[in-house]
Amino acid sequence: MLRIAVPNKGSLSETAVQMLFEAGYATRRDSRELTVSDPRNGVEFFYLRPRDIATYVGSGALDVGITGRDLLLDSGSVAAEVAPLDFGDSTFRFAGPAGEFADLADLDGKRVATSYVGLVGDFLTRHGVSADLVKLDGAVESAVRLGVADAVADVVSTGGTLRAQGLEIFGPVILQSTAVLIAGNPEISGLDTLQRRLQGVLVARQYVLIDYDLPADLVEEAVLITPGFESPTVSPLRDGNWVAVRAMVRRSETNQLMDALYSLGARAILVSSIHAARI
């Protein structure tokens, strides 16, 4: 069976488990369960610390896993990213005392506190900057105020937490991270099925079906509004002057498209959720 590593806790865990459930896989019912076997789908799940998943997959102990791109790169594992999974987004930046740092070169010879020594170290090396990295397992925002470091490298959302500690963001983005599917051997049997299923979940979340009736002579204009994923379905109605159209559209654009179709002359405009997909 395909052995899959899944985050057991943290920001990635809940969404990863929900995606697997929506993809038709068995998931654990008790947070204390460490493994779940799903023989019907030919897989077995192992619930592990997110930071350890890349190591297990890279070593060959497990076949594939779901983890953060940041954790994969920080681990130094030989596991490879197979596909992004569109959740758990985060941005890594440098920050230091206001006015003390202007660009990356200012970090040369300084102490930088981070929970991602491998990731940040590789970034600095690629840019020719030599800094002393201070590894901290928890929040790093207080490192400068407490004298442990001169600057920090951490996940940034709004920057409010950093500003509260008297820090400001500077320099280039270190990494735009997201949850990813990883594998030690991208050719391993069963990975393609898992990837298609997860992709189907993403499509079902991002798209809906829109159906509407329309005067036949307006089809070409309507198709410009709803071109569909590949091409819309156009079906004749009992009234030969009208047709029924069905197309996939982005969920986020639904109401604007309905307004445009109604203004064009479409009627009976209905939107339906997609529960599963294979594209």
Say whether 227 sits in a helix, a strand or coil: coil
Tokens standing for residue 221: 């204009």
Instruction: Please report, rounded to a whole number, the percentage of residues in the chain having pLDDT higher than 70.
Output: 99
Average pLDDT over residues 110-125: 96
**Predicted pLDDT of residue 160:** 75
Confidence of residue 279 (pLDDT cuts 50, 70, 90): confident
Confidence category of residue 161, pLDDT binned at 50, 70, 90:
confident
Rounded distance between C-alpha atoms, residue 63 and residue 187, angstroms: 10
Residues in the chain: 279
| Structure confidence at residue 63 (pLDDT) | 98
Please report the pLDDT score of residue 15 as a whole number: 95
Does residue 21 come out as left (phi exceeding 0), alpha (psi in the -120 to 50 range) or beta? alpha
Q: CB of 178 within 8 A of CB of 84? A: yes
Average pLDDT across the chain, whole number: 94
Average pLDDT score over residue span 100-119: 96
pLDDT tier at 141, thresholds 50, 70, 90: confident
3-state DSSP assignment of residue 87 = coil
Residue pLDDT, tens place only, 20-59: 999 999 999 888 889 999 999 999 999 999 999 999 999 9
Segments of 157-265 assigned E as strands: 167-177, 179-183, 207-215, 233-236, 242-250
Residue 158, pLDDT score: 67
Three-class secondary structure of residue 194 per DSSP: helix
Give Dmax (Cα) for the chain.
79
Q: List pLDDT tens digits, range 163-178.
A: 888 899 999 999 999 9
Give dist(CA 76, CA 54) in Å, integer.
8
Express each pLDDT in 248-258 by its tens digit.
999 999 999 99
Residue type, 198: L
Q: Which residues contact 47 (CB under 8 A, 6 or more apart)?
A: 6, 7, 8, 28, 33, 34, 35, 36
pLDDT given for residue 128 in this prediction: 96
Contacts of 226 (CB under 8 A, 6+ apart): 210, 232, 245, 247, 249, 257, 261
User: What is the per-residue pLDDT for 39?
Assistant: 96
Q: Which residue has the tokens 């929506």?
A: 22
Tokens 């509004």 sit on residue? 225
pLDDT (tens digit per residue) in 72-99? 999 999 999 999 999 999 999 999 998 9
List 155's β-bridge partners, or say none: 92
Give the integer Cα–Cα distance in Å for 175 and 154. 10
Q: Following CA atoms 198, 4, 60, 66 in sequence, which dihedral angle do they give, to the nearest 10 degrees?
A: 50
195-246 residue pLDDT tens? 999 999 999 999 999 999 999 999 999 999 999 988 999 999 999 999 999 9
**List of residues 6+ apart from 259 with CB closer than 8 A:** none
